[in-house]
Structure 1
Amino acid sequence: MNRSTLARITLAALTALALTVSGTVAAQQDVPQGGTLTVAWPEAVNNIDLAYIAGWVAFGAAHHLTDPLIQLDAEGQPQPWLAESWEVSDDAMVYTLFLRDDVTFHDGARFDAEAVRANIQRTLDDPDAMQHARFTETIGSVDVVDDFTVQITLQELDASFLFDVLAHWQVRPISPNDIPNRSAATMTQGYAGTGPFKFESFVADDSFTLVKNEDYWRGAPNIDRVVFRFLPELSVHTVELLAGSVDVSTSLIIDDIALLESRGLEIITAPAVGVNMLTMNVARGFTAELAVRQAIRHAVNRQEIVDSVLSGFGELSRAGVPEGTVLYSEHVSTVDYDPELAGRILDEAGWVMGADGVRSRDGVALRPHFLNPPGGHAANAEIVQEQLRLVGIDTRFEVAEGGTYGPRWREGDYELSMTAQGGTNWGSFIGGSVHPDDFWTVNQIRFSEDPELLAVADELREIIGEARSTVDLDERRETWARGQQLFQDYALAYWLWHAPTVTALQPWVQGYDFYNRTLFLHDAYIDR
């Protein structure tokens, strides 16, 4: 096959990246060594196996165990990592990866082309894996060319394959020795990756502990141990930071930022590739009705939450993407706060306001199940609950504890839910969210019994397939806009706002890096 090299990035580029991100290698020899870094984590992690992780809360802790094949830098551009370089065929259907030859897994096994093949095949073979559907639709074969060269042939063109698949956490390799023992039932058990830290312990609903990898291919970390303490109550983060008992928090109460800064903590605010949303299950209960979903959107005052809870830190979302990003389209309609319109929509649908302020129809009160994760989402959801009550919708409010939210949400055990999604780039995020068959899709539309919604699901599949196979960015933006408009027309979700990530670090934490909502600790050190 005639191949043109679209991306052949050498080890020199990797060295330059290391100098840019983490300071000079020589400087690392002079920094303080040892110590334990304690991180206040906003939710209980219920999964550290990246093949099954769909949430950034889990990934942010577990990614230290592994390395990507290709790393997306702070600008979202691909950089060499475990793959030193790569070639893409003229028709973008064959990807050839040239791997490093000096990497070992934590159990001593060699990282090589067979390990990459085995990890990708693991996802192809396991329906419970997060990217199973995407991989089986896209990847035709994975072949070992030689010890450190692997060739991936696509069966369907995917213009963002490099970004959405090869740079995705799904294909961060674990030792082939561990693969036969992994399943959705072993998601909190340790395994051997290639990353800067190794698994030490996991205590459900309490903590996740890592220790330094002395044999890491980029050099051993400076810190001996990293402990992620699961603290869902964000006010506790502030207390622990002020007491000096935790070193880092990646989730803060916005109103506490000034206090923390006044006590000498460093505050990092960075844009996040993600969106907060009110998801609505279109396949069950009250939210299977279009009128109810439309009324809910007009009853929610997004700006009030942004102003009162986020202190103005947030941009109202048009259709899931913020202004200025590659897939933003001003041609997609917006949804405005209009409680009077919400009331009229419900009136016309036969939902009558009762003396108790709750609407009903045919003797059934309008009380959708409102499931939420703990922490900030639950606090925001309480405001939404009150706003909905003003138009006669009385939700059955629930906060899922103990790391149960993700599985319940994915299984559709809700009618309404306040949550957020994100990705490494806007193309991967929107694709994952709107696809009816995606692992983390936002509305359960594929389970609907409404013929019209099933037709919409088919249309979304066609749009997403067209977008993924479109190389021209302008054409892809126009294609995505059609999908976004379907979401607006059928009220398939309510996109709320885009908020930056806010991280607090003690002044003695140095040498870290933070981008793409992710804290990198390989070069971090503790200098008290």
Structure 2
Amino acid sequence: MTKTLAILPVILTGLLLLAGCGGTAAGSGGATGAPKRGGTLVLGENGQEPTCLDPHGNSSSDGPVTTVPVSDSLVWFDADGTIKPWLADSWQVSDDGLTYTFKLRQGVKFHDGAAWNAEALKVNFEHMKDPATKSPLAAAYIAPYKDAKVIDEHTLEVRLSSPYSPFLDILAQGYLGMISPKQIKESPQSICEHPIGSGPFVLDKWTKGQSVTYHRNPDYNWGPASAKHTGPAYLERLEIRFLTEDATRYNALAAGEADAIDFTPPQNVSDVKANPDLGFLTAIRPGHPMAFWLNTSRAPFDDVKVRRALLAAVDRDSIIKGISFGEYQVAQGFVTSSTPGYAKGLAGTIAHDPAAADKLLDEAGWTARDKDGIRLKDGRRLTAYFPIAANFPAQRMQIAVQTQAAARKIGLDIQLQTPPEQELSDRSIKGDYDLTSGLWATNTADVLWIQYSSKNITTDERRGQNVARLSDGKLDDLLEKARRSTGQAERTELYNQAQARLLELVPAIPFYDDPRPVAYQKKVRDLSFTPAYPSPYFYDTWLDE
């Protein structure tokens, strides 16, 4: 995940929109023979290397792809959005939504021999919430977790402080994968470097800046409910290489040095699709689209008319088509189209209308202009500051420059700044910016609470993710009710209303629904995504060679 001002690295999950080239909808396929065992699969990653391989201490978009081979999840989030058993055989939820009773799968062992049981699950929950874990995601996702009680060896009763409808959904994410209770208790300092899970692969070595390698767990026999087979994984070994440069990653695939590459560069997708020796798999990452957030707590974006003006001035369709070679889908609102609870009926609401933008700024009192064409009010220029990191992704920089140009046409001066990293961090915490960028991927529309609840504005006591610093009572009420709702239809309606409210408030300029395009050699069979967070999943994968 890319770090920019006030933004944690991106995360992912949700209902998937899949497209195969020479493969099945669920992954690469087309083989007529039985799966073969053995071989090493090499995956080229995009260089967003995690700083920690502890799934609970991770927030990189490469996080799940490096940790899911090692750690299993409590439940499985299926492609149709249903929750299915995995390390939990079954569960019951109390009528008030405050108590979850999990019956756990028996016979599961961690790589160090520790048993999977109710105590192991409790220890994992406590590790996620422990401040010492420094969890950027898992702790936030299970914030309503209060405590747990071991009923018997394979039954755990979990109590929440308030009803939390996404609880089961987020427990399916790789960021909340289970690790050995023995390692948590006896050697917590070793988890970042070498996590011990119960998954289909055992971690061998992490060579920072280069790769992570794994070997098959020969005792594995507890795959998720949707798996195509039982028993150990087919692959003997797995290697994930960090290949930062787009050209390097694609050339490694073309030369056969990599069997598959993640985040296929958009400029190469058409070549991949045209190559009979390559296959293609993609999914739109659910959650919040890539956006430029507007700081609503200070001028000029404390005025909703100014925010609406900028949104109307930017030709998002043209920008996204250009920077993605036509591969990216323009965002239609504040959650992606693959997110459960997406308000499909609101698609097309955002219009490119420079004339309307000019009118809105006139109404806001910015009627005069200086010699450079920048609008003035009470002797002040209409200026907004956009501090960005020195390693700002090239595509986002193109979007920033084109947004800057569109804003200038309506008399708004967006100044792009590249302060030192420490200054950038300090300004992020203080709210000393007018624009910032990023995305947040997760498999529920509760991403709206994460990004826009007034409870998530950063304070001296707490680092929040509401970087737009939006505070709206009506929106807060809708999002709190949705979190507490125990009925799917009611929850969907509340999230739809929240999305409509955000289109009125315009706390951000949403640009595109972020895809995860994977290209692979045709010998790679049954490569798929984990639906709870679209990242490559290798349990069913095999090599036809």
| Higher mean C-alpha deviation, range 359-368 or range 108-117 | 359-368
User: Could you say what secondary structure the match of 1:33 adopts?
Assistant: coil
Give the aligned partner of residue 293 of structure 2: 279
On the 8 A contact 1:197/1:210 being kept in 2, the answer is yes
Q: Does 1:260 align with 2:279?
A: no
Aligned length: 491
Mapped partners of 1:406, 1:152: distance in 2? 36
Q: How does 1:41-440 map to 2 (within 5 A)?
A: 41=46, 43-126=48-131, 128-129=134-135, 130-133=137-140, 135-136=142-143, 138-164=144-170, 166-179=171-184, 188-218=192-222, 219-263=231-275, 264-274=277-287, 275-283=289-297, 287-288=301-302, 290-310=304-324, 311=326, 313-322=328-337, 326-328=341-343, 330=345, 334-346=349-361, 348-350=364-366, 353-356=369-372, 362=379, 366-371=383-388, 373-374=392-393, 376-391=395-410, 392-398=412-418, 415-424=434-443, 426-438=444-456
User: Could you say what secondary structure the match of 1:433 adopts?
Assistant: helix
The verdict on how the C-alpha distance between 1:414 and 1:519 changes in structure 2, with shifts beyond 3 A counting, is farther
Counterpart AA for 2:312? H
Deviation, 1:349, is 4.5
Deviation, 1:269, is 3.1
Give the aligned partner of residue 16 of structure 1: none
On the 8 A contact 1:40/1:246 being kept in 2, the answer is no
Mapped partners of 1:508, 1:470: distance in 2? 46
Deviation, 1:82, is 0.7
The verdict on how the C-alpha distance between 1:35 and 1:491 changes in structure 2, with shifts beyond 3 A counting, is same
Deviation, 1:259, is 1.4
The verdict on how the C-alpha distance between 1:134 and 1:240 changes in structure 2, with shifts beyond 3 A counting, is closer
Counterpart AA for 2:320? V
Instruction: Please list the CA deviations of residues 66-88 of structure 1 after superposition, one character each: whole Å capped at 9, or x if unmatched.
Output: 11100112212111111122223
TM-score by length of 2: 0.77
Mapped partners of 2:122, 2:368: distance in 1? 59
Q: Which has the higher helix share?
A: 1
The verdict on how the C-alpha distance between 1:77 and 1:207 changes in structure 2, with shifts beyond 3 A counting, is same
Counterpart AA for 1:419? G
Counterpart AA for 2:151? V
Counterpart AA for 2:107? D
Deviation, 1:265, is 0.8
Deviation, 1:120, is 0.9
On the 8 A contact 1:251/1:503 being kept in 2, the answer is yes
Mapped partners of 2:427, 2:536: distance in 1? 27
Deviation, 1:369, is 1.8
On the 8 A contact 1:48/1:189 being kept in 2, the answer is yes
Deviation, 1:61, is 2.8
Mapped partners of 1:360, 1:43: distance in 2? 42
Counterpart AA for 1:269? T
Q: Does 1:520 align with 2:537?
A: yes
On the 8 A contact 2:310/2:407 being kept in 1, the answer is yes
On the 8 A contact 1:436/1:460 being kept in 2, the answer is no
Q: Please list every run of 5 or more consecutive structure 2 residues that lacks an aligned counterpart in the other structure.
A: 1-25, 223-230, 457-461
Give the CA RMSD over aligned residues.
Answer: 3.8
Counterpart AA for 2:279? E
Deviation, 1:496, is 2.8
Mapped partners of 2:204, 2:318: distance in 1? 44
On the 8 A contact 1:280/1:415 being kept in 2, the answer is yes
Mapped partners of 1:49, 1:407: distance in 2? 26
Give the aligned partner of residue 10 of structure 2: none
Mapped partners of 2:204, 2:298: distance in 1? 42
Give the aligned partner of residue 8 of structure 1: none
Mapped partners of 1:234, 1:60: distance in 2? 18
Mapped partners of 2:394, 2:322: distance in 1? 16
The verdict on how the C-alpha distance between 1:108 and 1:411 changes in structure 2, with shifts beyond 3 A counting, is farther
On the 8 A contact 1:131/1:170 being kept in 2, the answer is yes
Mapped partners of 2:328, 2:99: distance in 1? 43
Mapped partners of 2:311, 2:260: distance in 1? 36
Counterpart AA for 1:383? Q
Structure scoring higher RCO (CA < 8 A, sep ≥ 6) equals: 2
| Higher mean C-alpha deviation, range 48-57 or range 430-439 | 430-439
Counterpart AA for 1:77? T
| Higher mean C-alpha deviation, range 473-482 or range 257-266 | 473-482
Instruction: Please list the CA deviations of residues 472-505 of structure 1 after superposition, one character each: whole Å capped at 9, or x if unmatched.
Output: 3333233223432442333212233335432111
The verdict on how the C-alpha distance between 1:386 and 1:180 changes in structure 2, with shifts beyond 3 A counting, is farther
Mapped partners of 2:394, 2:476: distance in 1? 34
User: Could you say what secondary structure the match of 2:268 adopts?
Assistant: helix
Counterpart AA for 1:273? P
Mapped partners of 2:120, 2:426: distance in 1? 29
Mapped partners of 1:208, 1:47: distance in 2? 12
- Picking from 496, 502, 505, the partner of 2:511 is 496
